Amino acid sequence: MHSTGNKNNTNVLYFTEGVIMDERQLIKGCLENRKEDQKELFRRFSGKMLSVCRRYARHEMEAEDMLQDAFVKMFKNLDAYKGNGSFEGWLRRITINTAIKHCQRKSFSNELLGYEKLPDNRYYGNTGSPLDEDFLLQLVSDLPDGYRLVFNLYAIEGFSHAEIAEMLDITASTSRSQLVKARRLLQMRLAEVEDFNARTNRMVP
Amino acid sequence: MNRQNSIDRKFAPLRESTEDAPMHLWEKIEAQIEAPSKDKRRFFWLSLLGLMLVGLGSVIALSTGQKSPKLPAQSTPLQNTNIDIQKTVSQTPDANTVAANLLPTQSNSNLKQQSLYKKNTLDNQKIFVDKPLHKQTHLPQAGQATNPTSNTPSPITQSAPNNLVLKTGLVQNIPCLSLPLPENSTPLPNLHFAQAKPKKGCVGSRVIKVPKSVFIDAYAAPIFSSSFYSARSPEAKSYARLRDSTEHNAVGLLAGVRVGYIHESGLNFRAGLAWQQIRNRFNQIIEQDEKMIVHTHRDDLGNIIGRDTTFEYGRRRLDITNKYTSIDLPLSIGYISMKNKVQLGLHVGAVLNLNFSQSGTYINQEHQIATFAENQKIFNKSMGTSFFGAVELQYLLSERWGIFLEPQARFYPKSLTSAHYPLKQNITTFNVLTGVKYIF
């Protein structure tokens, strides 16, 4: 598979089954309700968007729900994408908004759906590297809902506190405070893991 | 400006991370963007709309038929009548169609002017008779009723109190009343004719008003149900879709008895008791199922000497019927019109649920196969009140017995599942009642 394109990602070429497809052609095909183009669009972006969802969700099942809702929303509103800016950026914004809505209503549904009974997937040092992506992802997922949202939006997505305040319907100072607490918590967890790994390594003959 | 601290920098690579999304998600997305979720809800409204259109069309057709009477051209002269003036009148607004021949029997003087009584005539005229004619309910004193549904002509002769001889018979299978008078007699001077519009149920119309009656009926019906799940919160949407994809509609059963009362205006009231079982099929394929097979070895005397246990692994398809059983109290109000032996009714009503039980299998929130019995908190204790619309088509086999066909669309506004369950389960049904009716 080969892909080329400019930095804005608006003219990315995909090599699919022997046909080079322009991103705009792909979107046009989706708008014309062509199933193969819709599937291709999902295949191209679902990996990245699932990764976004994983950061906001507490576990994989919830992340898949978020992804599904985000793609359905995207396909239903695809005609609203006018080609200004990258398609990936537009889709990422939809995915983030969908994830935020999920998180805001989750405290109620967790109890109803029995998610609290799901096994704790937390692991320390099993991957061999404390900075492994899965491990970092798990640390973010383990943050309390409010901290996780603000940390994701600020530290990873790059939104300002003012933007976060508007998105989450909180004040900018609350956003700052949540971020500080999230960082502190993550730092503590990282320290714990490093300590755990150090002790484990010492025990190995 | 570098706004990131050391923690942020450690986590920043997550922005560009990617992972493989499972393709089964695409199937779910495809299904969702292809089929609108409200398809199942449309089932009820379309069937109700269809029923109403059929009913309305029938009523309009019958009403139109009233405006084009064909009787004058087809009427047959009655026996033993010396006719100078022949007019047809209706006896009472609710009586059968009547043809009357009016001639004086003794003298016109016997017809004293007491009160003018208006009667509609076949040719849109009104006859003003000096004295009211007897109501139809008084006429069949000679023993033979003028049943509108009877095909047998049954002439009856009797004297009316105002010295008119009344004779009843049938014209074109419609009960008639004739008043034979001596030859050479002159038309009644006190009869006047005036233009008037035909009224419902009058001469010339083939629509016959339904006689006041009480009836009992018994029926059975297949139930074509549509059960659909909806999430109480956005997070439960995928679970709702999962339930929808694993449960499919099946044909259920309905049986019941009703008693009813038909008012002479055509209004109809019914109440009864019904048992129904709504069904759906739970289908699930278990990709890697384990089947344990135990072979027992016995000696010649039948004693067990050993057992071999083997496990077979494979794909298994579960196909289980879920049953939602209820006992209900249906109540309805309707309007009935009649044409010869055929009766057409439009009904709307409510069904009060008295008892509700369910049995079956489903996928629970943990995506495990479970039975309803394992979780008693899924369903409400009652199905609540449901509402229905129906069109009844009845054929009278005799004066007492009739058979009927009644397509019925029913909607349950209340979810079958309790408020604590993450999914709402709503049901609409389409039943085709077939039954027998006994008229008292």
The stretch A191-205 carries a mean pLDDT of 71
Are B166 and B153 contacting, i.e. CB atoms less than 8 angstroms apart? no
Are B272 and B259 contacting, i.e. CB atoms less than 8 angstroms apart? yes
Measured CA distances, B383 to A173, B244, B280, B421 (Å) = 50, 20, 16, 15
Q: Kindly state the percentage of chain B with pLDDT values over 70.
A: 59
Confidence of residue B6 (pLDDT cuts 50, 70, 90): confident
- Looking at residue B275, its pLDDT comes to 93
- Three-point CA angle A9, A14, A84, nearest 5°: 25
Residue B10: list chain A partners with CB under 8 A: 131, 136, 190
Higher-pLDDT residue of B207, A65? A65
- Looking at residue A29, its pLDDT comes to 86
Are A136 and B14 contacting, i.e. CB atoms less than 8 angstroms apart? yes
- A53/B262 Cα distance (integer angstroms): 64
Does B11 sit within 8 Å of A186, measured CB to CB?
yes
Confidence of residue B35 (pLDDT cuts 50, 70, 90): low
**CA of A161: which chain B residue's CA is closest?**
B3
Least Cα distance to A56 among A156, A129, A123, A176 occurs for: A156
Higher-pLDDT residue of A8, A155? A155
Residue B232: list chain A partners with CB under 8 A: 112
- Looking at residue B277, its pLDDT comes to 92
Q: Measured between CA atoms, how close is A183 to chain B, in angstroms?
A: 6
- Looking at residue A95, its pLDDT comes to 93
Confidence of residue B366 (pLDDT cuts 50, 70, 90): confident
> For tokens 């990617």, what's the residue?
B18
- A134/A124 Cα distance (integer angstroms): 11
Are A70 and A52 contacting, i.e. CB atoms less than 8 angstroms apart? no
Which of residues 81 through 100 in chain A touch B, CB cutoff 8 A? none
- Looking at residue B218, its pLDDT comes to 93
Kindly report the average pLDDT of chain A as a whole number: 76
Confidence of residue A11 (pLDDT cuts 50, 70, 90): very low
Least Cα distance to A91 among A179, A10, A195 occurs for: A10
**CA of A71: which chain B residue's CA is closest?**
B29
Q: Which residues of B68-90 are buried (b: 16+ CB within 10 A; e: fewer)?
A: ebebeeebeebeebeeebbbbbb
Does A190 sit within 8 Å of B10, measured CB to CB?
yes
Higher-pLDDT residue of B298, B409? B409
Q: Does A49 touch chain B (CB under 8 A)?
A: yes
- Range in A9-13, A54-58, A59-63 with the lowest mean pLDDT: A9-13
The stretch B412-438 carries a mean pLDDT of 89
- Looking at residue B150, its pLDDT comes to 43
Whether A150 shows a pLDDT value over 80: the answer reads yes
In tens, the pLDDT along B209-235 reads 667 788 999 999 999 988 888 888 877
**What tokens appear for B201 in the block?**
């149920």
Higher-pLDDT residue of B338, A202? B338
- Range in A168-182, B13-27, B142-156, B247-261 with the lowest mean pLDDT: B142-156
- A52/A112 Cα distance (integer angstroms): 25
- Looking at residue B309, its pLDDT comes to 80
Whether A181 shows a pLDDT value over 80: the answer reads yes
Does B29 sit within 8 Å of A51, measured CB to CB?
no
- A179/A152 Cα distance (integer angstroms): 9
- B36/A3 Cα distance (integer angstroms): 35
> For tokens 């193969």, what's the residue?
A36
Higher-pLDDT residue of B77, A138? A138
The stretch B378-403 carries a mean pLDDT of 89
The stretch B95-119 carries a mean pLDDT of 40
- Looking at residue B62, its pLDDT comes to 60
In tens, the pLDDT along B107-116 reads 444 444 443 3
Which class for B136: exposed (0-12), middle (13-18), buried (19 or more C-beta within 10 A)?
buried
- B2/B401 Cα distance (integer angstroms): 92
Residue A149: list chain B partners with CB under 8 A: none
- Looking at residue A120, its pLDDT comes to 43
The pTM for the full model equals 0.41
Higher-pLDDT residue of B161, B315? B315
**What tokens appear for B270 in the block?**
């019914």
- Range in A8-22, B48-62, B85-99 with the lowest mean pLDDT: B85-99
Looking at chain B, the domain(s) classified CATH 2.40.160.20 span 35-62+210-285+320-439
Least Cα distance to B430 among B45, B77, B156, B145 occurs for: B45
- B344/B59 Cα distance (integer angstroms): 8
Q: Does B310 touch chain A (CB under 8 A)?
A: no
- Three-point CA angle B389, B395, B396, nearest 5°: 130
Confidence of residue B43 (pLDDT cuts 50, 70, 90): low
Domains and CATH numbers, chain A: 1-118 (1.10.1740.10), 120-205 (1.10.10.10)
Look at phi and psi of residue B334 and say left if phi exceeds 0, alpha if psi is from -120 to 50, else beta.
beta
Confidence of residue B173 (pLDDT cuts 50, 70, 90): very low
**CA of B20: which chain A residue's CA is closest?**
A47
- A92/A100 Cα distance (integer angstroms): 12
- Looking at residue B63, its pLDDT comes to 58
From the CB of residue B313, how many other CB atoms can be counted at a distance below 10 Å?
9
- B265/B374 Cα distance (integer angstroms): 53
The stretch B181-188 carries a mean pLDDT of 51
- Looking at residue B368, its pLDDT comes to 75
Least Cα distance to A178 among A87, A103, A114 occurs for: A103
Whether B282 shows a pLDDT value over 60: the answer reads yes
Whether B140 shows a pLDDT value over 50: the answer reads no
Instruction: Please give the interface size between A and B, counted as residue pairs whose CB atoms are below 8 Å apart.
Output: 113
Does B236 sit within 8 Å of A55, measured CB to CB?
no
Confidence of residue B255 (pLDDT cuts 50, 70, 90): very high
Cross-chain CB nearest to B29 (options A71, A108, A137): A71
The stretch A82-101 carries a mean pLDDT of 88
Which DSSP letter does residue B22 get? Answer: P
The SS3 call for residue B130 is: coil
Q: Does B35 touch chain A (CB under 8 A)?
A: no
- Range in B192-196, B305-309, B342-346, B430-434 with the lowest mean pLDDT: B192-196
Least Cα distance to B119 among B182, B230, B15, B199 occurs for: B199
- B248/B40 Cα distance (integer angstroms): 11
Are B202 and B90 contacting, i.e. CB atoms less than 8 angstroms apart? yes
Does A113 sit within 8 Å of B232, measured CB to CB?
no
- B430/B165 Cα distance (integer angstroms): 55
Least Cα distance to B201 among B264, B290, B154 occurs for: B264
Whether A147 shows a pLDDT value over 50: the answer reads yes
From the CB of residue B206, how many other CB atoms can be counted at a distance below 10 Å?
18
Does B234 sit within 8 Å of A105, measured CB to CB?
yes
**What tokens appear for B406 in the block?**
């009644």
Q: Any residues with CB less than 8 A from the CB of B6 and at least 6 apart, and which?
A: none
**What tokens appear for B327 in the block?**
């006992």
Whether A167 shows a pLDDT value over 70: the answer reads yes
Backbone angles phi, psi at B7, to 5 degrees: -65, -45
> For tokens 């490093």, what's the residue?
A194
Are A149 and A168 contacting, i.e. CB atoms less than 8 angstroms apart? yes
Which class for B413: exposed (0-12), middle (13-18), buried (19 or more C-beta within 10 A)?
exposed
Segment of A88-97, B244-253, B310-319 carrying the highest mean pLDDT: A88-97
Which DSSP letter does residue B220 get? Answer: E
Whether B343 shows a pLDDT value over 70: the answer reads yes
In tens, the pLDDT along B351-362 reads 998 888 888 888
The stretch B402-428 carries a mean pLDDT of 89
Whether A110 shows a pLDDT value over 80: the answer reads no
Fold of B35-62+210-285+320-439: Porin (2.40.160)
Confidence of residue A127 (pLDDT cuts 50, 70, 90): very low
